[in-house]
Amino acid sequence: MAEQLPTTNGVKENNKLWKGIFAVSGIMITLVIYGILQEKIMRVPYGVNKEYFKYSLFLVFCNRITTSAVSAGSLLASRKALDPVAPVYKYCLISVSNILTTTCQYEALKYVSFPVQTLAKCAKMIPVMIWGTFIMQKTYKGFDYLVAFLVTLGCSIFILFPAGTDISPYSKGRENTVWGVSLMLGYLGFDGFTSTFQDKLFKGYDMEIHNQIFYTTLCSCVLSLTGLILQGHLLPAIDFVYRHNDCFFDIALLSTVATASQFFISYTIRTFGALTFAAIMTTRQLASIMLSCVWFVHPLSWEQWIGAVSLHCNCSTSC
């Protein structure tokens, strides 16, 4: 009997599986490295005088200018048009929300540890669902809301019961946890809008991944540079990097990894949608937390372990 050829549906499912593996692997590898580097830059002192790097907007600028240059090079190398496909203001909306997302993320590290921040990111499914309802008129099942609620509950347990010895270098005590949580709430809200609006642009326009990345990061470069100049942080940040070569290499590596992660993020949102991207992101949180706890010796209270196990079970269910 002649061997049956695989069905068209079977081929499509196989291709989707490999695309999913590619997206998950890329996000896992790049963002775990990104998270460790980001914590090192913002929380570990440099030099004999133990100076801390405090210019989070400078990191945003370095990340975005690197990503913008790589995206422009990719478009030119592939001989694709650099012209915007969508109205420029729509790229700018993504850019503004993305800058606010990243700034909240970096600033939060001054008040909460990376494991706490990473677990809090597991709650990003909720803002994505909320923004999806308003922006894309999507509807979700009751089970989706239940999983999102349980994930948020696990986050709350993890944040509200920190180990007593895990004090931020910027912190005077646990009172700063409130400000850290406020920054993380800002991060979640802006991040949910960013990925949902990216999803809307991909679906509404025939848009290449590098086209969207180029224009959003170009806008981010202009905005972050303007912010640095207005705050008077540009020259102090350059001086800090000039005096600490190890900080320069950390930022260069961070920008490289950020560029790679941006490609995988945009690819995932374009291929699978914003909510699937949020679910994928939650599955990589536990690996980032454990790696950070080992690398930077973060203690975890028993309540945090309960929250971590709860989050892992619910995140696995959601995926």
Q: Environment class of residue 297 by beta-carbon count within 10 Å: exposed (0-12), middle (13-18) or buried (19+)?
A: exposed
Take residue 239 and report the two structure tokens written for it. 């001086």
**Do 242 and 51 contact (CB within 8 A), yes or no?**
no
pLDDT at 69: 93
Q: Which region holds residue 87: left if phi is over 0, alpha if psi is between -120 and 50, else beta?
A: beta
Query: What pLDDT shows up at residue 256?
Result: 95
Q: What pLDDT is recorded for position 293? A: 66
CA 37 to CA 270: how far, in whole Å?
Answer: 27
CA dist 97 to 85, 101, 226, 240, Å?
20, 6, 16, 27
HEC readout, 164-195: CCCCCCCCCCHHHHHHHHHHHHHHHHHHHHHH
**Collapsed DSSP state (helix, strand, coil) of residue 46:** strand
Strands (E), the chain: none
Q: Please report the pLDDT score of residue 68 as a whole number.
A: 93
3-class DSSP state of 94: helix
**What's the pLDDT score for residue 239?**
95
CA gap 228, 68 in Å, rounded: 18
pLDDT, averaged per 10 consecutive residues of the chain (319 residues), comes to 55 77 86 85 88 90 93 86 85 90 81 70 78 82 75 63 52 59 87 88 83 90 92 94 94 94 87 77 64 63 59 53
Amino acid (1-letter code) at residue 260: A
Q: Tell me the CA end-to-end span of the chain in Å, nearest whole number.
A: 40
pTM (2 d.p.): 0.70
Q: Looking at residue 235, what is its pLDDT?
A: 95
